[in-house]
């Protein structure tokens, strides 16, 4: 009989989330802090207060868990764009300003250690299914920027999207490599870039 590490419920305590949720939440934390290769399924199962049998019941392999990890991160990124659209449906300039504020929050967060999806992509082989999820999300992010710049009447939205995308992504990579100082200046560079880029009246 395989015993789990789940503690018995105690009156008055909040019950634990379902095993799949716990496993994915723990995997997210461990993958982000330590990397994909450094974290094994045994550690994930133990930290999630379950066992490998239960983990494999929900995720057939570690690779499948990594794909679920990437999909969840991508979905959260998509929700940011939806939130900005909901908050500023008829004002693209305010939506853009809110997105820059969002970027600033990310780059100034003391717990930030780079983009989780970019970090994962570095460790994945070219044919890994999670890479397709990451590449699709990054392309979608660029397309969101293009549409936002078009709506804000920038003359060269495609070029500007590339410049902004590289600036933001580069800043997060800089943080991952220990260079928080240059990354903190990225927000000022971003605002200057947007202020100086040509726009139609």
CA distances from 89 to 81, 84, 85, 164, 194 (A): 11, 8, 5, 22, 20
CA distances from 56 to 4, 11, 15, 19, 49 (A): 13, 30, 22, 11, 14
Using DSSP, how many helices (H) and how many strands (E) does the chain show?
Answer: 9, 0
Q: Where are the domains of the chain?
A: 16-60, 71-196
Tens digit of pLDDT for each residue in 55-66?
999 999 999 999
Residue with tokens 């979608």: 140
CATH architecture of 71-196: Orthogonal Bundle (1.10)
pTM: 0.87
Tens digit of pLDDT for each residue in 163-195?
999 999 999 888 877 667 777 889 999 999 999
CATH of domain 16-60: 1.10.10.60
């Amino acid at each position: 009989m395989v015993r789990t590490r789940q503690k018995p419920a105690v009156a008055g305590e909040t019950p634990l989330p379902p095993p799949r949720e716990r496993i994915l939440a723990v995997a997210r934390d461990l993958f982000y802090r330590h990397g994909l290769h450094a974290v094994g399924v045994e550690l994930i199962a133990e930290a999630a207060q379950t066992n490998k049998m239960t983990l494999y019941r929900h995720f057939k392999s570690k690779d499948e868990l990594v794909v679920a990890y990437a999909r969840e991160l991508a979905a959260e990124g998509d929700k940011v764009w939806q939130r900005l659209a909901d908050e500023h449906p008829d004002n693209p300039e305010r939506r853009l300003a809110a997105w820059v504020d969002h970027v600033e929050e990310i780059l100034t967060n003391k717990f930030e250690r780079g983009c989780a999806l970019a970090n994962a992509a570095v460790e994945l082989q070219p044919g890994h299914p999670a890479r397709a999820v990451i590449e699709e999300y990054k392309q979608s992010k660029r397309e969101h920027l293009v549409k936002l710049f078009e709506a804000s009447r920038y003359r060269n939205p495609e070029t500007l999207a590339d410049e902004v995308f590289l600036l933001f992504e580069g800043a997060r990579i800089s943080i991952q490599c220990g260079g928080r100082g240059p990354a903190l200046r990225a927000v000022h560079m971003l605002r200057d870039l947007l202020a100086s880029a040509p726009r139609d009246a």
